[in-house]
Amino acid sequence: MKVALVTSSMPLAPWQNGITRAFSEAGLPTELVPWEDRHPRSTIGARYALVWLPPAQFFEVERDLEVVFNLGAGVDRLLANAVVPEHLPIVRLVDAGMAVRMAEYVCFAIARATRGLERFGPGGLRDWNASRPRGKPPTVGVLGAGAIGSKIAEAAAMFGYPVRVWSRTLSTFAGMEAFAGLEQLDIFLAGSNFLVNALPLTRDTENLLDRTRLSKLPQGAHVINVGRGATIVDADLLALLDDGHLGGAALDVFRVEPLPDDEPYWSHPKVIVTPHLSGPTPVAPAATQIADAIVQLERGVPVRSLPGYVDRARGY
């Protein structure tokens, strides 16, 4: 059984080594074949494909594919490029160790703002008696209750922040306020001092956070985006930062990546820009997750029942 590996912008060697090891440990009689576009008409004859932003010609050549595994949790760019034929099911990674790293990133961003850590460092305060921020912990609102959003919510709650969670359909977590649907979004936003976006990009979430909705946040609120850049209307976020309604933003994802040099976010005094590093995909657990899924498929388990099966109509 041949499996194609198409890593595009990702380094090939770590994935090749990690997946080979995971397949061996799972007892899968597979041959992992890296696909190279230098020979676009040379077919591998693979049944499964492990991909990250694959070129269209890959699917033009590989006609025997049964399932496509995406080497990441987000599939918006894969679906937007429309390179995967409609008949081919797609399975994305579910957490695979990314969620805890993203929760760490979010909690650091919250602590940096709430504890005034940005005041220190080169060129900053050198005052041993600098004020220690005190008072009631701010409320953290998490948009998205999937594997990533739920982990972020749990981590924030562990540090003593009041947490509220909004999702498309109601998801409840012990000790947290839960909101669902567009009819409850404004109420959710109005009580969120830190808004954390962990939503996937779909037709429903694109431009969801425009000026009207961001204005519902309390005065001085902060926005943290680890979901997808196109969920936020950039001009509206910048305008609310400039007029003082919002206190700051920590942004890890953007509409265009890499972020262009002339993008205003780079130089804005209230914005922290990071290069999509909040949730790097750990190769070993990701490879194990894929190997386990292929074992299930080889046993006759329907692909639709696998964790991470992508509903194209829903967008994730």
Q: Give average pLDDT by consecutive 10-residue segment, the chain, 316 residues.
A: 89 93 94 77 88 92 95 90 93 92 97 92 90 91 96 97 96 95 98 98 96 98 98 98 98 96 97 96 95 97 96 91
Say what the pLDDT of residue 41 is. Answer: 67
Say what the pLDDT of residue 199 is. Answer: 97
Asked whether residue 312 is domain-assigned, the answer is: no
Q: Are residues 10 and 84 in the same domain?
A: yes
Q: Are residues 26 and 146 in the same domain?
A: no
Q: Are residues 105 and 38 in the same domain?
A: no
Q: Is 228 a catalytic residue?
A: yes
| SS3 state at 224 | strand
Q: Are residues 113 and 244 in the same domain?
A: yes
Q: Are residues 251 and 263 in the same domain?
A: yes
Q: Is 245 a catalytic residue?
A: no
Active-site position among 276, 299, 304, 312: 276
Active-site position among 47, 101, 164, 228: 228
Say what the pLDDT of residue 200 is. Answer: 94
Asked whether residue 264 is domain-assigned, the answer is: yes
Q: Are residues 234 and 262 in the same domain?
A: yes
Asked whether residue 314 is domain-assigned, the answer is: no
Say what the pLDDT of residue 51 is. Answer: 96
Domain that holds residue 265: 98-273
- Given a contact cutoff of 8 angstroms between Cβ atoms, the answer to whether 251 and 271 are in contact is yes
Q: Are residues 258 and 143 in the same domain?
A: yes
Strand order in the sheet with 67-70: 31-34, 2-6, 48-51, 67-70, 90-92
Say what the pLDDT of residue 132 is. Answer: 87
How far is Cα 179 from Cα 244, in angstroms, rounded to an integer? Answer: 27
Say what the pLDDT of residue 224 is. Answer: 98
Q: Are residues 198 and 128 in the same domain?
A: yes
Say what the pLDDT of residue 44 is. Answer: 87
Asked whether residue 91 is domain-assigned, the answer is: yes
Q: Are residues 264 and 231 in the same domain?
A: yes
**Tell me, what CATH number does 233's domain have?**
3.40.50.720
pTM beyond 0.85, yes or no: yes
Q: Are residues 129 and 202 in the same domain?
A: yes
Say what the pLDDT of residue 82 is. Answer: 86
CA atoms within 13 A on the CB side of 308: 23
Total tally of structural domains belonging to the chain: 2
